[in-house]
Amino acid sequence: MPSALALSPHLDDAAFSCGGTLALLARAGWRVTMATVFTASVADPKGFALACQTDKGLGADIDYMALRRDEDRAAADALGIPPPHHLPFREAPHRGYASPPELFAEVRPGDGIVPDLIRAFGELVTATAPDLILAPQAVGGHVDHIQVVRALEILAPETPILWWRDFPYSIREAAPREPLAERFAAFPIETVPYDAAAQAAKHAACAAYASQLGFQFGGVDKLGLQLAREGGVERFRRQGALPGDFARVLGDAG
């Protein structure tokens, strides 16, 4: 049985950016592992970290990340894949990034998360033996996405990688910020069309992240509109030769 490993920085990124592809892989009999990186609960958050949940209408007494981990499980179920792996790393607001602009600026010199990510990713690759890895390009420039790319780049697995365009950052501006564009420029574009059933699965998975829909899209109805505009296609940069079984997945989707 072929296998795929999706490395999702946050509790929504993989579903938003490559949910259609994951649904296709699962339906074709692949063993799909979705590993979400920055999922740790932090007791008694303060300042900007606390504002990240209160500005979504959630009280300070709520374990925001536990709620989001539950959403992540529901999204995986909607895609037809097993419950996700939740890695124990803190999001950027809990690592000293103190405002929205800082999340999309340069990585802080004191942010030493990459060595820990390398070790965790190496353990995941060993445990899951993927035939294909899916990971972000860091379109939009979020520091957590950048750190995931850096760690995976240093780990340098021999497995082929489909680097996704980070949705919805990829559509928020006509020319979204792409701080790592040069790193991906030499890789060919891989387009993955996904059929109506996979579109429905992706919509359900994205809608499972109820705490994020207002902030990210303006509500569930606008989520549907944005997904419809994507036209049932996900685009990647391909690093390495795709496994032969992947061509069968695309054939079945057509």
Tell me the mean pLDDT per 10 residues along the chain, length 254.
Answer: 97 98 97 98 94 92 96 98 98 96 96 98 98 98 98 98 98 94 97 97 98 94 96 97 86 64
pLDDT value of residue 244: 85
Question: Burial of 201 by CB count in 10 Å (0-12 exposed, 13-18 middle, 19+ buried)?
Answer: buried
pLDDT value of residue 248: 78
pLDDT value of residue 28: 95
Confirm if 144 and 16 have CB atoms less than 8 A apart: no
The H-or-E segment that residue 39 falls in is: none
Residues 6 or more apart whose CB falls under 8 angstroms from that of 11 comprise 36, 38, 39, 65, 68, 69, 71, 72, 209
Q: How far apart are CA 170 and CA 17, in angstroms?
A: 9
pLDDT value of residue 254: 58
pLDDT value of residue 180: 98
pLDDT value of residue 253: 64
pLDDT value of residue 226: 96
- The dotted CATH code for 3-253 is 3.40.50.10320
What does the domain layout of the chain look like in residue ranges?
3-253
